[in-house]
Structure 1
Amino acid sequence: MKTVFTILYILTSVWAIGAIIYHGRRPSRSISWALAIIILPIFGAILYYLFGMNRRKFKFFNSKEFEKRNRFGYPENSQQEKFWAHFDEDIRKERLNRLIKASSNTTAKSGNKVAVLQDGGETFNVLFKAMEEAQKFIHVQYYILERGNLLDKMSDLFKRKIEEGVEVRIIYDSLGSYKLRGRPRKQFQDIGVKIYPIMPIRLRNLLFSLNFRNHRKILVIDNKVAFTGGVNVSDKYIKRENGLGKWKDVHLKLEGPIVNDLHMVFLKDYFFASKKADFHTSDFLSEQEMAGSVDAQVVAGGPDSNHPTIMQQYIGMMNQAKRSICIANPYFVPGEAFLQSLKISALEGVDISLLVPKKSDSKAAKFAMFSHFEELLNVGVKIYLRDDFSHSKIMIVDDDLVSIGSGNFDIRSFELNYETNVLIYNKEINSEMTKEFQKVCKKANPVTLERFQNRTLWQKFLEGLFKFLKPLL
């Protein structure tokens, strides 16, 4: 038996390490996986098979479904060009606009109205009020649809609206909303909701569905108003829970030309999830009118994108910074490229502040995040620990750039998840977000280099361990 195990260990290890050498893209990640395979006999190879393989080179991402999804576009007479924002007098904004257009295939649009929703309770009050006013359709997409009061309220609302003739479509991530399978999903179907999981986890597609998740949060109503940001449908945002209390998060209410771009992200995902051949964007997209004075741009990326769109957006924003960068995120575990860009900006004299929660719903992510604090403090980055738990994904640059969305500052959001941010080119919204950021920082606990260096050996060990495992998180 021992001989059989040894032979199996050698064969799986040789295969896995060979796959790493052939398909690996980043040396740090490849080394971590190679050591995991050696240290964890057979189990390490299985983990690599499920979570580590570079499947961008595989047939899955060249399938007919993905090809159709990528060709899914605007009707020929949509006249989107008339809303394109022009930054002729600001090369910083124009360079960022070009980067996102090349990476995400979306252009900054002018004439938008953008409202920032700073609290979960406020978000759901505004969101439910907008859905109550729906006359044609309600399109819903969330990473987490969690059973509770909010989901029950949503179900009751959908039942009433469907009786009024409003169409309701829901797509959700099959892992993030795994409790929705079975009876809860059937309850939505029974009231007339068209509901589909995105990349459902089944044995035949386990290799591809388990590791690549759809982390987007999108709501579109009658193609007139749209919502996106970091908030999931969960009672955590309206009720205190043990340990973390009531979750904080930031969401956006959008009106104007940008609604079409955000709606297109939903329509592509719905087409992919439902596999409805007769599903066309022209049935739902409509001509938009100017709703405000805000220039904004949808940033959408995923594992089938040609570029790591979310990472490129964040690094692009940093590279345009002249004075300040503010980042708020609960899972600040970025790769080396992002860290080096951040450190370069700090060494150039840019004032950088990082706001993260003291507590976390993921201890692994918390220790991996803390493992970078010393090197960031050494180059002058200011770090603040807030007492409450904030799930927000925010980046504020200088006095005229803000990003809010679903994209975390970690390798999963950069490479493995489908994410959507909104990049806002606007001084007023920047000022609003900066004031809120600074208000929270004043209440938070600043991390000093001297105090942080005096942490326990056990904490340093855990940080080192999870920093080593960071590429696998």
Structure 2
Amino acid sequence: MSSLFWIAYAVVTLWSIINIIFYGTRATKMISWSLTVIIMPFLGPMLYYLFGINRRKFKLFKLKQNEKRKLYSETYKELKGGEQSVHEFADYKHNKIASLIRSNSYFAPYEGNKITLLNNGDDAFGAIFKAIEAAQDFIHLQYFILEEGDLLDRLYELFAKKLKEGVEVRMLYDSLGSHALRGKVVKRFKEIGVQAYPSLPIRFGNLLFTLNYRNHRKIIVIDGKIGFTGGFNVSDKYIKPISDLGLWQDMHIKIEGPAVNSLQRIFVKDYHFASNEDLLLQNRYFPKVSPVGTSIAQTVSSGPDSKYPAIMQQYLTMINVAEKSICIANPYFIPGEPILEALRIAALSGIEVNLLTPKKSDSLLAKYSMFSSFESLLDVGVNIYLRPDFSHSKVIVIDGEIASVGSGNFDYRSFEHNFETNMLIYDKQIVRTIDQLFGDHCKKNIRLDFSKFKNRSILIKFMEGLAKFFSPLL
């Protein structure tokens, strides 16, 4: 029996390592998975089979629907009739970022937008409900998490009212992120006429090809004229302290103007993938939107179907072109060595680098992984601030001139495995407001002291080191 065990262990482990060698994408990740399958008999290979295999080369990413996703992106690189709204930057910094996103996400920067910052749950959902109340043609909603509670009940009531008025309502939700959304709740929405579909449904037949790839986006488009995106999910934890972490904080934006069409393109592509319904070919869902403000905005979209890791490239480019300051707020700051090195270079070059993260986390592994990189950052002069509450915001600001607000975290899950959406804001007035909010949080929250931090206990350092081992897999 013992011999059979070791033979089976050797075969399974060897199979896993061969797959890692042939299909691995990054050396650090390959090493982590190799050690995992070696030191965890059978469990390690099982975890690798579920979460480690690069399935872009396999079934999911050869599906006909996914080919259509790519065709959508490549065919509709610019908006029909919207070319007059495309902004061309003259300076190096803005042009480099905008050109990158235009090449890797196929979205241009558009002029004539009005952007409203929504910095807490009451403001965000108040604005969302008000916009839904005023919808006249269609409501398109997409969230990673739809959770039962007061907010979802309010959405149901509004949808029921708007459907009676003849407004179309479409809703996407991630099947894993919204796992608590029982069938009868979805059925309740469908019974009133909501066209609701799960993104990447987890079913027996496709479990191995979808489990590790999630749709993490948060998007609402109303009548093709008003859009919302950012970090909020539809969960009551944003409006009342029902979580162990207390009241969750986040940042969202409301956008009106030509850039809304970019959010609509993302929704339509995802909706087709979930429902097989072709909305993109119907012009009524892409109305020509006149300028309504003075802000320039550009959408960043990335996912497992993308040719390039657009979110990672966006963050890395913003860090590299910064001249004065870099401010990052993120709850899962586990970016990997390229971005860590870029931040160290920036700090050593005299650029002020500020990192704002929550002291508490909803994931202990993520917290220790995040803290494991702090000592090397503090050593070169990066300022790290810990918020006592749980901030879920995903924000980066450079030089007080360019800001990004969205769903993308600073981790490999957002860089490689999740469908994500960020919005780049090229408006000094809006960006200064975000910068001011960031600065206010830094002033009133705990700033890590390098000398004290490096003297933390041996046990904490061990936990961080252990978590760092798994960080390329997060």
TM-score, with structure 2 as normaliser: 0.97
Please give the alpha-carbon distance, in whole angstroms, between the structure 1 residues aligned to 2:145 and 2:443: 32
Matched, 1:223 2:224: yes
Corresponding residue of 2:462: 461
Corresponding residue of 2:80: 78
Corresponding residue of 1:433: 434
Question: After the TM superposition, which of the residue ranges 178-187 and 43-52 deviates more from structure 2?
Answer: 178-187
Aligned amino acid, residue 7 of structure 2: I
Secondary structure in 2 aligned to 1:327? strand
What displacement does 1:114 show? 0.5
Corresponding residue of 1:357: 358
Corresponding residue of 1:133: 134
Secondary structure in 1 aligned to 2:472? helix
Contact kept, 8 Å, 1:130 with 1:221, in 2: the verdict is yes
How many pairs are equivalent?
472
Corresponding residue of 2:117: 116
Aligned amino acid, residue 86 of structure 1: E
Please give the alpha-carbon distance, in whole angstroms, between the structure 2 residues aligned to 1:180 and 1:192: 18
What displacement does 1:204 show? 1.4
Corresponding residue of 1:36: 36
Corresponding residue of 2:450: 449
Q: CA RMSD in A?
A: 1.3
What displacement does 1:59 show? 4.1
What displacement does 1:179 show? 1.7
Please give the alpha-carbon distance, in whole angstroms, between the structure 2 residues aligned to 1:372 and 1:231: 26
What displacement does 1:180 show? 1.7
Please give the alpha-carbon distance, in whole angstroms, between the structure 2 residues aligned to 1:202 and 1:91: 48
Question: After the TM superposition, which of the residue ranges 376-385 and 178-187 deviates more from structure 2?
Answer: 178-187
Change (3 A) 1:75 1:311: closer
Corresponding residue of 2:181: 180
- Residue by residue over 1:2-45, the C-alpha shift from the partner in whole angstroms, topping out at 9 and shown as x without a partner, is 33322221111010000011111211111111111011111111
Corresponding residue of 1:403: 404
Corresponding residue of 1:65: 65
Contact kept, 8 Å, 2:268 with 2:279, in 1: the verdict is no
- Residue by residue over 1:206-235, the C-alpha shift from the partner in whole angstroms, topping out at 9 and shown as x without a partner, is 122100000000001111100000000000
- Residue by residue over 1:349-376, the C-alpha shift from the partner in whole angstroms, topping out at 9 and shown as x without a partner, is 1100000011111111000000000000
What displacement does 1:76 show? 9.3
- Residue by residue over 1:44-91, the C-alpha shift from the partner in whole angstroms, topping out at 9 and shown as x without a partner, is 111101101112222421321111122225499822211111112x11
User: Percent of counterpart pairs with the same letter?
Assistant: 52
Please give the alpha-carbon distance, in whole angstroms, between the structure 2 residues aligned to 1:42 and 1:452: 38
Secondary structure in 2 aligned to 1:384? strand
Corresponding residue of 2:54: 54
Please give the alpha-carbon distance, in whole angstroms, between the structure 2 residues aligned to 1:127 and 1:427: 25
Question: After the TM superposition, which of the residue ranges 69-78 and 208-217 deviates more from structure 2?
Answer: 69-78
- Residue by residue over 1:417-466, the C-alpha shift from the partner in whole angstroms, topping out at 9 and shown as x without a partner, is 00000001111011101111010111100001101011111111100000
- Residue by residue over 1:282-339, the C-alpha shift from the partner in whole angstroms, topping out at 9 and shown as x without a partner, is 2311101001111110000001101010000001111110000000011001111111
Contact kept, 8 Å, 1:264 with 1:281, in 2: the verdict is no
Contact kept, 8 Å, 1:402 with 1:423, in 2: the verdict is yes
Secondary structure in 2 aligned to 1:304? coil
Corresponding residue of 1:103: 104
TM-score, with structure 1 as normaliser: 0.98
Secondary structure in 1 aligned to 2:409? coil
Aligned amino acid, residue 40 of structure 2: L
Change (3 A) 1:221 1:457: same
Match runs of 1:207-222 below 5 Å: 207-222=208-223
Match runs of 1:178-327 below 5 Å: 178-277=179-278, 280-327=281-328
Please give the alpha-carbon distance, in whole angstroms, between the structure 2 residues aligned to 1:112 and 1:246: 31
Matched, 1:343 2:344: yes
Detail structure 1 runs of 4+ shifted over 3 Å in the superposition.
Answer: 73-77
Please give the alpha-carbon distance, in whole angstroms, between the structure 2 residues aligned to 1:200 and 1:398: 41
Please give the alpha-carbon distance, in whole angstroms, between the structure 1 residues aligned to 2:279 and 2:465: 52
Please give the alpha-carbon distance, in whole angstroms, between the structure 1 residues aligned to 2:280 and 2:335: 37
